[in-house]
A and B are shown apart, each in its own frame.
Chain A
Amino acid sequence: MRYFFFIFFTLLYCSTSAANIYVGAKRSHRTISSALNEAKSGDTIFVDAGLYREKNLIINKSIVLKGVGSPVLDGEKKYEIISITADGAVVDGFKLIHSGISSLEDLSGIKVYDSRNVVIRNNILEDTFFGIYIQNGINCSIENNTLKATGVEEQQSGNGIHCWKGDSLRVIGNQISGHRDGIYFEFVKNSVIWRNVSKNNLRYGLHFMFSNDDMYVNNVFRNNGSGVSVMYSNRIKMFSNYFEENWGDAAHGILLKEISDGFMEGNYFKRNTSGIYMEGANRIYMKRNVFENNGWALKIQASCMDVVLELNNFIGNTFDVGTNGSLVLNRFNNNYWDKYDGYDLDKDKIGDIPYRPVSMYSMIVEKYPPAMILFRSFITSLLDKTEKLIPSLTPENLKDTAPMMKRAF
């Protein structure tokens, strides 16, 4: 009974204290900043549709700021539009345009400073320098925002969703295009990136540094300047992402550099110059991924160790695997390679002779790029065939000992 009364009165207290404040041309508050001044923690501010030029809005109370009919906040190309310094603040349903540009202060559409439980959702950000910036946030959530920038140079453009230092962040269902990096994670732990679409960004679709124990699932990274880059991180899980059409000499579907204990399953790599580029990657387990129509499905440098590839499909790639040395400390097993021309006498659906995914010509092209012009000519296929019989240039141990005869799944 005591507990009942306690809960009852607490609820009563809450319901009386949390007020609704309205902002609009015909409301008591004309500007959001005056409403913010009046609001107490726990209040909800509803903002009517319209154009608001409020310079820099600072949310320093745990309030809900909700746009009705997507009101426009204009930063006039000078200001950071919303700064959040309070735990539990919510920004929902705004359209933010024209933030200022400053490489000293990283001006953003919405920036969160040292706060917990902040929710940013259903906003549209156009022509902002940085889009949504979390600086030291814990348990914050960025959901269903659309970020569009029109940067041309990397220097003049910021990142879409930028998280610097954080824990338990959720980046879900955002659409990001035209920024420098679509999503940027640095020193972020235990976070999830789910169902985002990051495309046509100048540099990386997703840029990941020094961030451990994170997971990204069901994202699409398409046509970014250099694809996706995951560096210096441990225990990253990647499920069912699409990496598509990242074209260029230094563009990769995904770049894995100094990564340990990663897990990749069900990802699609389509039409990239190289699907995966691995350098200094350790203990990565790759299973049931699809590599289709890439220039190189996989470039695995000799500095990688204990990378395991199992049950992946390699279809229609120009080169399946490229490497730079003869040291092989990785394992290929039960993958399907469409270029495999072995046989299966005992009908167990596993080829009887090993498949060597590194063709001689891919080694030559790695060394002498202009040799690409001779690719698919009679003499190069002849070279490849002789190399298959007597391997001399290609690493002896880089082979799939049990290749699948049919697609792995």
Chain B
Amino acid sequence: MNKIIKYVITDILRNKIVLIYTVFLLAASFSVFSLEDNSSKGLLSLLNIILIVVPLVSIIFSTIYMYNSAEFIELLVSQPLKRNTIWLSLFTGLASSLSIAFLIGAGIPVLIYQANLVGFTMILTGVLLSIIFAAIAFLATVQTRDKAKGIGAAIMLWLYFSLLFDGLVLFILFQFADYPMENAMIGLSALNPIDLSRILILLQLDVSAMMGYTGAVFKDFFGASNGLIFSFFVLLSWIVIPVWYSTLKFNSKDL
């Protein structure tokens, strides 16, 4: 298993895209922090990078990488190795290289300019999002052999999570404006890892605006230790469930 992980990581390093991604993150985060006169505004710009760029790069790169390594996977399957091991090591290699890229690219500037609770939450959610979207990419690739279909599905999934879902929530909110929606909103937010991460950061960034009645409901839930544990588990299950399901699929897949 370790050997495959090592191979995957060196392979990813060799094709340089992840290196460029790291450099891009570094450049972007340093520039947002040094361009703005107060670094909390830099955090806001960085928030957009984390919520949009990280999932996008993570899901697209993982999908393409998986399709390109189809022959390598076939080769591995012909060896005396368990399919579980192959799939999980591929995932571990990809997810860890993406999260390391994020840690170096965004983590270092955040630690330099904003080494506080908001910064740490951002780093943690960024890493989790990298892993989650790698897992979703695995789910997309295992469904179909068709490369165009798979990449298309990955892009649609990204679009859904970062844009369409919020539009739907907003729509539901307007339709049910006369009902108390606070708790339903908490439930809905669990259905989208990007939303959940955003709320976790929002609660610390816009703490004053969140002090209104509705904000207080969210704050009471997500701010208390129970809510934090809940959101952490939800984010974890966003990793575990797609990986577990794709492993099942891969085990019975006709290559």
Contact = CB atoms under 8 A, between A and B. Distances in A.
A377 to B, nearest CB: 5
Given A338-B41, A378-B52, A247 B209 contact: no
B208 A293 contact: yes
Interface stretch (A10-18, A32-40, A314-322, A386-394): A314-322
Interface string A359-381: 00000000111111111111111
Q: Which of A251, A376, A377 gathers the greatest number of chain B CB atoms within 10 Å?
A: A377
Given A316-B41, A338-B41, A372 B208 contact: no
Nearest to A373: B185
Interface string B210-228: 1111111010000000000
A69 interface: no
Given A295-B206, A377-B166, A273 B182 contact: no
A369 B181 CA distance: 9
B92 to A, nearest CB: 30
Interface in B204-255: 205-216, 218
B173 interface: yes
A319 B170 CA distance: 19
Contact of B173 (A248, A249, A368): A368
Interface residues of B, number: 41
B142 interface: no
Q: Which of A247, A273, A370, A378 gathers the greatest number of chain B CB atoms within 10 Å?
A: A370
A382 B211 CA distance: 25
A251 to B, nearest CB: 7
Contacts of A379: 163, 166-167, 170
Interface string B37-55: 1101100100110011000
Contacts of A315: 38
Interface in B134-188: 162-163, 166-167, 169-170, 173-174, 177, 181-182, 185-186
Interface of B: 37-38, 40-41, 44, 47-48, 51-52, 162-163, 166-167, 169-170, 173-174, 177, 181-182, 185-186, 189, 194-195, 198-199, 202, 205-216, 218
15 contacts: A249-B213, A251-B211, A272-B208, A295-B208, A338-B38, A370-B182, A370-B214, A371-B173, A372-B212, A372-B218, A373-B214, A373-B218, A374-B169, A375-B209, A376-B206
